[in-house]
Structure 1
C-alpha cells in the first residue's frame, strides 16, 4: 500500500531539512566533546604546554600549513592543466577558500569543495569541467590520505603493546572499508555512471521545477568533462597531482615536529611523528560530518599521543596549535570568498 500523496510530497522537504541541520548538530556535538576533553584534563597543563609553543612556533606551523595548501592548489591545477584558462593564482586562492569554509563554517568537510568548484567558473571554467576537477581532486586527496594512514598503521605495528596493536587493527579494518568506497568513487567517474546520475537529477529537477525543456550547460555534461580529465595523454598530470597530495599529507607531520620541539618534548622519533599525524588525521576524517573534526581531532591526538608517552595536556595543546592556521589562514579566505561573490553579483547586475 503506497503512502498518501501529501506524505510522499513532504518526504523530500523533510530530508532536506535533516541534511541542513546535520552539520549544525555535528558542530554542537564536536564542541561538546572538545569542552569535555579540556574540562576532564588538567587545564593548567594544557595552557602551560600551549604557552611554551610561543609566537615563533605558531608562526612556523602557519607557514607550513600555507605551504601545504599551496601544494594542494598545485595538485588541483595539474588536473585541469591545458583544459582550463585559469592560472595557478586562481587555484591557490580558491584552495584557501575551500579550506577556510571547511574548517570555520558549520558545514560538512566537503562543503568548501563544492563552493570551490562553483567559484572556479568565475575564471571562465565551464561548470561541468569545474565539477569534474573537484571530483578528481577529492578522489586523489582521500586516496592519498588512505595510503598515508596505511603507512601510519604499518609503523604503529612496530610499537610494542596491546593498545597499539588494537588501534592498528582498527585502522586496517577502516581502510578496508575506505578502499571499497574509493573504488566505487573511481568507478563512478570512469564508467559513465555520472551521466546516469545527471540524467536522473535532471528528471527530478524538471518534475519539481516544471520546466518545459532541460537547461543544458554550454560546457556539456559532467561525464564528458570527467572523460576529458581522465583522457589519454593525461596520466602524467594526474600522477603529478597524486604525488603532490601525498607530499602535502606527509608535510603535515612537520607541524607536529615543530610544536613538540617548541614544547620541549624529547624522544619522539620521526616515525612516531608520522604515526601521530597519519592516524589523528584518519580519525578526524572518519568523523567528516563534524565540521573541522571539532573534539574528534583533540581526542585523536590524546589517543595516539598516549602510545608514545605524550600526556593529554600536551596532546590537546598540540591539537590547538594545529587549529591556529585554521583561523589565521581561514578568516582571510572567507573574506576573499565574500568579495568574490560580491564582485560576481555586481557584474551580473550590470549585465543587461
Structure 2
C-alpha cells in the first residue's frame, strides 16, 4: 500500500467517524433522558407542565421568536455594506439554522454550515457567507461565555457544597472556553485561515486526479474575513456582539415565564439568570449531542436543585423550552426545503428575492 492510498484510507475512516459522532451523541442523550425519566416522578412533571398553560407556552414561543430575530439582525450587521443580500434574508435563514440545529440529528453547528450555503442563494459569494457565519458564531459563543460567567459569579454566592462545586466547574470550563475562543479569534483575525485553506487545498490535490490541470485555489475565506473585520466596521461589529448579548436575555424571560406560571416558588431575577445561563452553558458544552437531548434536562435539574426547585418543575421547564423548538423548527425546515426547491427549479422563481 503506497503512501497516497494509506492517506486516502485514513481520510475516509476519519470522515466516517465524524459522520457517526451525532448518532453517538444522540444515543448518549437518549440514555440520559431515559435515566432522568426513571429517576423522577412523571406525574409531578405532567402536573407542573399542565400549570404552564397555553398562554404561558405562547409567551415562551414569542420570547424565542424575539431572540432568533435579534440573532438574525446580529448576523445582518456583519454583512451590512459587504453583500447584496437584504437583512430579511438573514432573519429567515436564522430561523432555518435554528430549526436544523434543534430538530435534525446533527451536531449543534450543522445548521450554521447549511445557513452559509443557503445565504449564497441571495447572491452572496460563498467565501463571504462562510466568513459571516464564522464571525457570527464567534460572537454568539463569546457572549454565551460572558453570560455563563455572570451565572457562575452569581451561583458562587449561593450557600452549599453543590453550588460551590458547580461554580468551580463552570469557572474551569469557562477558562478552557476562553482559550478556545481566543484561538478561534486568532484564526479568524489573522492570516492563519489562509494557511489552513492552502494546507487543505494541497491535501485535496493529492487525492484528486488531474489536479495539475486545475487552477491554484485562492484563500478566499481569509479575504472575506479581512473584509468583515475591516476598517470602519467596528460599529457594526459592536452592534452584532451587543445584539447577541441581548438575545440571551430572552432566554431569561422564557425561564421567568415558566416558573411564574407553575408557581410554588418565588421568581427571583438572580435565580432565573443563574438557571438560564448555566443551563445554556451545560448544553453548549455537550454540543455534539443533537439539540442537547437529555443534557438540557439534566442541566436544569442540577441548577434548579440549588434553589430548592424540585425535579418535576425543572423537567417541565425544559419541556416548555423545547416547545418553541418544534413550533418554530418545523416551519423552518419547510422553508429550507422550499428554498432548495426554488434554487433547483427553472425560471424566475429559482432565486429568492
TM-score by length of 1: 0.95
Contact 1:121–1:127 (CA<8 Å) still a contact in 2? yes
- Report what 1:329 is aligned to: 328
CA distance in 2, matches of 1:271, 1:323: 23
Contact 2:154–2:270 (CA<8 Å) still a contact in 1? yes
CA distance in 2, matches of 1:3, 1:346: 44
Cα deviation, residue 208, structure 1: 1.7
Change (3 A) 1:350 1:245: closer
- Report what 1:320 is aligned to: 319
Contact 1:148–1:250 (CA<8 Å) still a contact in 2? no
Say whether residues 1:161 and 2:160 are aligned partners: yes
Cα deviation, residue 201, structure 1: 1.5
- Report what 1:136 is aligned to: 135
Contact 2:120–2:129 (CA<8 Å) still a contact in 1? yes
- SS of the residue 1:309 aligns to: coil
Contact 1:268–1:308 (CA<8 Å) still a contact in 2? no
Contact 2:4–2:206 (CA<8 Å) still a contact in 1? no
Q: What CA RMSD, in Å, does the superposition of the two structures yield over aligned residues?
A: 1.8
CA distance in 1, matches of 2:38, 2:156: 32
Structure 1 unaligned regions, length at least 5: none
CA distance in 1, matches of 2:217, 2:198: 11
- Report what 2:275 is aligned to: 276
Query: What does residue range 221-232 of structure 1 map to in structure 2 within 5 Å?
Result: 221-232=220-231
Cα deviation, residue 191, structure 1: 1.2
Describe the superposition over 1:249-279 as per-residue Cα deviations: whole angstroms up to 9, x where unpaired. Answer: 1221100000011111322310110000000
Describe the superposition over 1:151-171 as per-residue Cα deviations: whole angstroms up to 9, x where unpaired. Answer: 000111111111111100110
Cα deviation, residue 346, structure 1: 1.5
- Report what 1:78 is aligned to: 77
Change (3 A) 1:178 1:3: farther
Contact 2:97–2:111 (CA<8 Å) still a contact in 1? yes
- Report what 2:50 is aligned to: 51
Displaced runs of 4 or more, over 3 A = 2-9, 214-217, 347-351
Describe the superposition over 1:214-257 as per-residue Cα deviations: whole angstroms up to 9, x where unpaired. Answer: 4757xx70011000000010001000000000010122110000
Change (3 A) 1:31 1:215: farther
Cα deviation, residue 349, structure 1: 12
Query: What does residue range 248-263 of structure 1 map to in structure 2 within 5 Å?
Result: 248-263=247-262
Contact 2:260–2:267 (CA<8 Å) still a contact in 1? no
CA distance in 2, matches of 1:308, 1:85: 49
CA distance in 1, matches of 2:100, 2:349: 28
Describe the superposition over 1:48-73 as per-residue Cα deviations: whole angstroms up to 9, x where unpaired. Answer: 11111111111110010000000000
- Report what 2:28 is aligned to: 29
CA distance in 2, matches of 1:3, 1:286: 40
Change (3 A) 1:296 1:348: farther
Contact 2:60–2:254 (CA<8 Å) still a contact in 1? yes
Cα deviation, residue 39, structure 1: 2.0
- SS of the residue 2:345 aligns to: helix
Query: What does residue range 1-352 of structure 1 map to in structure 2 within 5 Å?
Result: 7-210=6-209, 211=211, 212-214=213-215, 216=217, 221-347=220-346
Contact 2:60–2:321 (CA<8 Å) still a contact in 1? yes
Cα deviation, residue 205, structure 1: 2.2
CA distance in 1, matches of 2:118, 2:8: 33
Contact 2:4–2:207 (CA<8 Å) still a contact in 1? no
CA distance in 1, matches of 2:153, 2:347: 53
Contact 1:152–1:275 (CA<8 Å) still a contact in 2? yes
CA distance in 2, matches of 1:225, 1:348: 30
- SS of the residue 1:316 aligns to: helix
TM-score by length of 2: 0.95
Task: Say which is worse superposed, 199-208 or 301-310, in terms of deviation.
Answer: 199-208
Change (3 A) 1:64 1:215: farther
| Number of equivalences | 348
Task: Say which is worse superposed, 272-281 or 203-212, in terms of deviation.
Answer: 203-212
Change (3 A) 1:5 1:232: closer
Describe the superposition over 1:13-72 as per-residue Cα deviations: whole angstroms up to 9, x where unpaired. Answer: 111111101101111210221122012110100111111111111111001000000000
- SS of the residue 1:231 aligns to: coil
Cα deviation, residue 187, structure 1: 0.3
